Structure 1
Amino acid sequence: MMALLLRDLRLSFRAGGGFGLGLGFFLLVAVLVPLGVGPEAGTLRLIAPGILWVGALLACLLSLDRMFALDHEDGSLDLLATSPLPLEGAVAIKACAHWLVTGLALTLVSPVLAVLLNLPPGAMPWLMLSLLTGTPALSVIGAFGAALTVGVKRGGLLLSLLVLPLYVPTLIFGAEVVRRGAAGDALSTPLALLAAITLGSLALLPFAAAAALRINLR
């Protein structure tokens, strides 16, 4: 399992692997939104939680089509399906690799980009906590969508259409955690719901993704 994780991480850091793609997109969102809506501090503070979470969501979405497609093209996916490692474990490892190069990286740089959107300093820890809690769900849900569309030519648009509706609850509760943290309100409820979505996704979706892969490989 560790060898598969290291392999996917190495592929992600290579040219065209998608590591810098998500971070670059997240940076562009944080830079362009103030230019579009204006420099008013109150307006930026109001929309910052939603904009940051939308940017993180779309940044995670950009590299999902690479999760299984390259392995399917070179035959590695067939080897994984017949290896001693359960296919559910392989899906979980690939989702973990995707999270490390996207979700974790976005979490670490989010306070710097939040400054551009005038997010209050007191909300920075809650922004990082919400991303750290919610982005694993984005990767696992994305793995499920990528498994459904593996082998489909130009399946990127279809993947987006399948995955985006499933991302909506994570987006809502993640942005609500940041909004309440910025306002100083109680945030235990949205944070608990966000954690529940992530835990439920981690528990169920690797099995669903593995089943979809087995169907597509027949």
Structure 2
Amino acid sequence: MIALLIRDLRLAMRAGGGFGLGLAFFLIVVVLVPFGVGPQSTLLSSIAPGILWLGALLACLLSLDRIFALDWEDGSLDLLATAPLPMEAIVTIKALAHWLTTGLPLVLAAPVFGLLLSLPEAGYKPLILSLFLGTPALSVIGTFGAALTVGLKRGGLLLSLLVLPLYVPTLIFGAEMARRGAAGLDVTTPLLMLAGITCGTIALLPFASAAVLRVNLR
């Protein structure tokens, strides 16, 4: 399992789907927002939690089509399907590799980007915690969408249409937790909801993704 994880991390870096692409897109979103809504620090600070969460979500979306595409193209996915390792474990490792190369760098970069949007000082800790809890769910859901569209030509657009509605609950509670934290309010309810969504996706979706892959490989 460790060898497969290292292999996927290397493939993600070589294929251009590593942390650089997601961070660059995240930075572009954060930089362009003040040009669109104006430079008022009060307005920017009020919308910063939602903008940062939306930027992180879209940045995660960029590299989803690469999760299984490279393995499908070179035939590695067929070999993995016949390996002693269960398909559910393979899917979980793929999702973990995506989070390590995309989600985790976004979590680490979010405080720096928060400065550009005048995020209140009280909002940094809830923002980082919400992203740390929510981005694994984005990777697991994205892995499920990638499994559904694997092997399809021009499946990137279809993948986005399938995954974005599933991202909505994570976006709602993640942004709400960051917003409440920035306002100095209690974040217990959105925190528990976000943690529940992440735990539920990690527990259930690898089995669904593995079943979909088995159907596509027949």
Band of TM-score, shorter chain:
over 0.9
**Alignment-mate amino acid for residue 52 of structure 1:** L
Question: What is the aligned partner in structure 2 of residue 61 from structure 1?
Answer: 61
Question: What is the aligned partner in structure 1 of residue 26 from structure 2?
Answer: 26
Q: What are the equivalent positions in structure 2 for 1:136-151 lying under 5 Å apart?
A: 136-151=136-151
Q: CA deviation at 1:9?
A: 0.7
Are 2:147 and 2:209, in contact at CA under 8 Å, matched by a contact in 1? yes
Q: CA deviation at 1:122?
A: 1.4
Q: How high is the TM-score relative to the length of structure 1?
A: 0.98
With 194-203 and 30-39 compared, the bigger mean Cα shift is at 30-39
Identity of counterpart residues, as a percentage?
Answer: 73
- SS of the equivalent of 2:151 reads coil
Q: Say if 1:185 and 1:17 are closer, same or farther in 2 by CA, change over 3 A.
A: closer
**Alignment-mate amino acid for residue 71 of structure 1:** D
**Alignment-mate amino acid for residue 190 of structure 2:** P
Are 2:137 and 2:170, in contact at CA under 8 Å, matched by a contact in 1? yes
| Per-residue CA distance 1:41-70 (angstroms, 9 max, x = gap) | 111011111100000000000000000011
- SS of the equivalent of 1:145 reads helix
Aligned length: 218
C-alpha distance in 2, partners of 1:129/1:65? 27
Q: What are the equivalent positions in structure 2 for 1:188-199 lying under 5 Å apart?
A: 188-199=188-199
C-alpha distance in 2, partners of 1:88/1:172? 28
C-alpha distance in 2, partners of 1:145/1:33? 29
| Per-residue CA distance 1:91-111 (angstroms, 9 max, x = gap) | 000000000011110000100
**Alignment-mate amino acid for residue 176 of structure 1:** E
Question: What is the aligned partner in structure 1 of residue 211 from structure 2?
Answer: 211
Q: Say if 1:79 and 1:15 are closer, same or farther in 2 by CA, change over 3 A.
A: closer
Q: What are the equivalent positions in structure 2 for 1:120-159 lying under 5 Å apart?
A: 120-159=120-159
Q: Flag structure 2 segments of 5+ consecutive residues without an equivalent.
A: none
Q: How high is the TM-score relative to the length of structure 2?
A: 0.98
| Per-residue CA distance 1:139-191 (angstroms, 9 max, x = gap) | 00000000000011010000000000000000000000010001111110001
- SS of the equivalent of 2:153 reads coil
Q: CA deviation at 1:19?
A: 3.0
Q: Flag structure 1 segments of 5+ consecutive residues without an equivalent.
A: none
Question: What is the aligned partner in structure 2 of residue 82 from structure 1?
Answer: 82
- SS of the equivalent of 2:154 reads coil
Runs of 4+, deviation exceeding 4 Å: none
C-alpha distance in 2, partners of 1:208/1:148? 10
1:161 aligns to 2:161 (yes or no): yes
Q: CA deviation at 1:16?
A: 2.3
C-alpha distance in 2, partners of 1:164/1:57? 9
Question: What is the aligned partner in structure 2 of residue 98 from structure 1?
Answer: 98
Q: CA deviation at 1:15?
A: 5.0
Question: What is the aligned partner in structure 2 of residue 71 from structure 1?
Answer: 71
C-alpha distance in 1, partners of 2:21/2:99? 13
**Alignment-mate amino acid for residue 166 of structure 2:** L
C-alpha distance in 2, partners of 1:203/1:17? 26
**Alignment-mate amino acid for residue 212 of structure 2:** A
